[in-house]
Structure 1
């Protein structure tokens, strides 16, 4: 089995692919906002706590699983704990919903194209979609003033004009052809980047994993040199120790660690399964986790220095211009760069960075789905042309499903899937089952012995204790707390979604959990023995 498994051509290809997978959009648009929202520098306390006792142990566990089993995210559990194979199917469900993130690449590509115009669409009040609430703002940076637009009330000019966003999920509207074309282009690019497996992905990541750091460094230097940058950084890191008593701060830290470390999604297992068994997976895991957290922290300086500049230009406080998620990437930040001299240059840099960050994560997710299905049906899908054909059908299917996200209500569809599809509770449940299955069914000590045999590396006692006790208990505790503290999803302007949307959202969330207990029940029923439904009279 091991000799037939594909391999990374070089060790650095695995490192770059893994770095691109864990360092994604959440590092740029989610961590800085959560840090500001939850007590500034104080937020680093719960973040580091969960990183040490949950994020890093889980990342290392999944890396070891992939390298030891040399299998994808589903079939690996047949080697570890057959009753937990449902975990792999839950991961496939999570990955299918996570493909919704490709619509972000479509938006970023569309914004990138518009960034080459002589006047940025979101930087003027002369567009057809502008209302009488749009006013001109004079920027005093540079040698001459530049007129820029303020948001049209609660809906920014960029989202109304470029994305043609409606008022809510109940107003789907028509397909926006520029967004649809952008989505199709993104899918074509993604297909040809992963169609040959690690042979093609290993080459692409030299660009997609490295270039975002170049762009981030450029934007960081530029942001720190802008007037008002210090005000933004103060808002980003100003500590509020009293916030440590707030349960929501700890829940946000937990969800951010789970989300940004990419655990419970199968990508870590899949990427490491292409390693040689003698690879030092322990050292790789520590370096990749450190890189992920440091990137999140540094990205906050680039984002908030620019938002501080935007606030100074508009004569408001920083909290008036701060946004999270898609609102930061496609509303707040585009408006901020529109106030700078040479706005087209900075807009191009920013959206290229978003594209590269998103592509790596999409690559890993597609590879996870494809490798898992190929490993499940090796006789039917083994072989280059069969894999390529299956991947093409998969990409075409998801593209057709995502056409509805190119309508005017597409942003709200994305918010719904993002909030429920790969949410904190789902990831917490899957990671808890992973820890219990490996540590208690397969055996934590046995796994450490296998790592010692493969790499010669001893796993510290702390990680063994985390796998067996600390991490699953933390997962269970915060899983319960997250359900007790659940708040309804709201749109950017604070309005609630329709009632049917919340019912649909919970169905999406449960679909990522149900395969685990369902598989276990079926497995017990079909297994011959005293606990099985097929127990014969004579054994």
Structure 2
């Protein structure tokens, strides 16, 4: 018999946890810029097309794998087919890499939350971020000069992450999601409402929503939409697969997936409104066009927004809300990323939750603290993030879809499992999206990104850092995934005597 597996107390807790994972810092600082750069209001068409043809179908695939085979990615793929386990470990490895640097972004947001009270960044947020806060250097090699102002909050992030995970799926992750996700939404709604009343907000919203229909003729715009959907929904690298494995045996999977997907997209559009209303204010007081103040990512969050906060009435409160939202969004995503690795180690080596959490978390935290709170940490983080997202996640998603759809030909049985439990039924279109459209788009994305990185490097970052933390890290993940898949399972009954969740009547 299979040992007791942790479970969510109900579907609503699972949905909140899944939303907490999907809604991360990328929703706030990536989507608005991507939409603006790729047709503004017209981008909503390829965005929705990508959501319906790739994002939601892949979310359903993750749910089907996790729920039917009741395991972390390596166990679920091993139960799917004995030679597919490597795919699961590849996903786990990507999550391990992401956890190493994602914790640092949360640590930065915590520091800036407190900086907001008295606008510590002063008159030059750009210089403050790079010099006074991060103490960045342009060294070509990896430096180990530690920055205490980053290291200390990073330790706090890891301690809190491990504490939540030790409490388990329901008492830890579920309880956190029930508190943090509604709080995150409330904080962000207040922030957006405040932004809408800033002078010049209308100009910013006009820049964000004004459609450039000609952009729809460019393939790069459609690829950008697919990329955004994959990166924001937490699909394809084990999170949703792991979370769905803790659902009850008769949960409505497709309805849950639709709630999560559309909640995530709604938050992204809300973020776009808030960000561009604020950028419109910045353009207004600076006497320039909106396109001259637009930025994304780290530059938007830690440079552009602090500069805006310093000029607006009630800037400290705006900063507290903004960075508070970043902390909450980042922390819930951080928990889900680390849980994938913990669950895999629990399953493979049949060890208790506490040693699994401490072992996984200890290793991740050690690597994180060794390389990232340093004077070259920003470059390392940037490279790790770009390669994990654009090479790692895209690569494993491509391999997984091809193997499941064309090598093992298991889409029909997975579809049957979803339909036996769910209120929203799937059909031929789901198999078409997962088996043909999604792999085609992923293949294009992976080939294009690989060629670009080989030819151009990465944004002027020294090649030793790109080769070590970019290509090197992703190759190491695959090598370790292969080795772990050949490591014997501690309890083979998990593989030999397992009965998949059976089709049944939904309750």
Of 477, 494, 497, the residue aligned with 2:444 is 477
Partner residue in 2 for 1:526: none
Please tell me whether the aligned partners of residues 13 and 202 of structure 1 are also in contact (alpha carbons under 8 angstroms). yes
Please tell me whether the aligned partners of residues 228 and 305 of structure 1 are also in contact (alpha carbons under 8 angstroms). yes
Shift of 1:513: 4.9
Using the alignment, how far apart are the partners of 2:224 and 2:143 within structure 1?
30
Question: 1:55-92 CA distances to partner (integer Å, 9 max, x unpaired)?
Answer: 11111100111111111111101121222211111111
Question: 1:151-206 CA distances to partner (integer Å, 9 max, x unpaired)?
Answer: 5xxx4334432333334664747311121110011111111111122121111111
Q: Tell me if 1:401 matches 2:335.
A: no
Using the alignment, how far apart are the partners of 2:423 and 2:192 within structure 1?
40
Please tell me whether the aligned partners of residues 255 and 422 of structure 2 are also in contact (alpha carbons under 8 angstroms). no
Does the residue aligned with 2:198 lie in a helix, a strand or coil? coil
Please tell me whether the aligned partners of residues 13 and 178 of structure 2 are also in contact (alpha carbons under 8 angstroms). yes
Shift of 1:466: 1.8
Does the residue aligned with 2:410 lie in a helix, a strand or coil? helix
Partner residue in 1 for 2:159: 188
Of 394, 397, 401, the residue aligned with 1:428 is 394
Correspondence 1:46-195 to 2 at 5 A: 46-99=46-99, 100-117=101-118, 120-122=119-121, 124=122, 149-150=123-124, 155-167=126-138, 170=141, 172=143, 174-195=145-166
Q: Tell me if 1:286 matches 2:286.
A: no
Partner residue in 2 for 1:388: 354
Under a length normalisation based on structure 1, what TM-score does the superposition of the two structures give?
0.84
Partner residue in 2 for 1:227: 199
Does the residue aligned with 1:406 lie in a helix, a strand or coil? coil
Using the alignment, how far apart are the partners of 1:102 and 1:444 within structure 2?
35
Of 233, 237, 241, the residue aligned with 2:209 is 237
Structure 2 unaligned spans of 5+: 489-507
* Alpha-carbon distance change, 482 to 401 in structure 1, aligned in 2, over 3 angstroms: closer
Q: Which one has a larger percent helix, Structure 1 or Structure 2?
A: 2
* Alpha-carbon distance change, 454 to 40 in structure 1, aligned in 2, over 3 angstroms: closer
Question: 1:396-445 CA distances to partner (integer Å, 9 max, x unpaired)?
Answer: 2222212221122221111011111x222332221222223333415222
Under a length normalisation based on structure 2, what TM-score does the superposition of the two structures give?
0.89
Q: Tell me if 1:341 matches 2:313.
A: yes
Of residues 263-272 and 445-454 in structure 1, the stretch that sits farther from structure 2 once superposed is 445-454
Correspondence 1:504-519 to 2 at 5 A: 504=468, 505-513=470-478
Using the alignment, how far apart are the partners of 1:218 and 1:167 within structure 2?
39
User: How many equivalent residue pairs?
Assistant: 482
Using the alignment, how far apart are the partners of 1:68 and 1:462 within structure 2?
21
Shift of 1:285: 0.7
Please tell me whether the aligned partners of residues 87 and 515 of structure 1 are also in contact (alpha carbons under 8 angstroms). no
Please tell me whether the aligned partners of residues 66 and 270 of structure 1 are also in contact (alpha carbons under 8 angstroms). yes
Using the alignment, how far apart are the partners of 1:3 and 1:280 within structure 2?
24
Using the alignment, how far apart are the partners of 1:171 and 1:503 within structure 2?
12
Q: Tell me if 1:204 matches 2:176.
A: yes
Partner residue in 1 for 2:346: 374
Using the alignment, how far apart are the partners of 1:453 and 1:230 within structure 2?
48
Please tell me whether the aligned partners of residues 105 and 354 of structure 1 are also in contact (alpha carbons under 8 angstroms). yes
Using the alignment, how far apart are the partners of 1:262 and 1:13 within structure 2?
17
Partner residue in 2 for 1:499: 463
Of residues 290-299 and 237-246 in structure 1, the stretch that sits farther from structure 2 once superposed is 237-246
Using the alignment, how far apart are the partners of 1:299 and 1:37 within structure 2?
15
Please tell me whether the aligned partners of residues 86 and 515 of structure 1 are also in contact (alpha carbons under 8 angstroms). no
Does the residue aligned with 1:75 lie in a helix, a strand or coil? helix
Please tell me whether the aligned partners of residues 93 and 481 of structure 2 are also in contact (alpha carbons under 8 angstroms). no
Using the alignment, how far apart are the partners of 1:472 and 1:98 within structure 2?
23
Please tell me whether the aligned partners of residues 111 and 162 of structure 1 are also in contact (alpha carbons under 8 angstroms). no
Using the alignment, how far apart are the partners of 2:136 and 2:357 within structure 1?
31
Shift of 1:387: 1.8
Using the alignment, how far apart are the partners of 2:356 and 2:178 within structure 1?
26
Question: 1:212-262 CA distances to partner (integer Å, 9 max, x unpaired)?
Answer: 111110111011100011121122222222323334323322221111111
Does the residue aligned with 2:167 lie in a helix, a strand or coil? coil
Please tell me whether the aligned partners of residues 2 and 70 of structure 1 are also in contact (alpha carbons under 8 angstroms). no
Using the alignment, how far apart are the partners of 1:245 and 1:514 within structure 2?
40
Partner residue in 1 for 2:492: none
Structure 1 unaligned spans of 5+: 125-148, 524-539
Using the alignment, how far apart are the partners of 2:466 and 2:212 within structure 1?
33
* Alpha-carbon distance change, 271 to 169 in structure 1, aligned in 2, over 3 angstroms: farther
Please tell me whether the aligned partners of residues 141 and 464 of structure 2 are also in contact (alpha carbons under 8 angstroms). no
Using the alignment, how far apart are the partners of 2:360 and 2:295 within structure 1?
34
Using the alignment, how far apart are the partners of 1:476 and 1:10 within structure 2?
37
Bigger Rg, which one: 1
Does the residue aligned with 1:287 lie in a helix, a strand or coil? helix
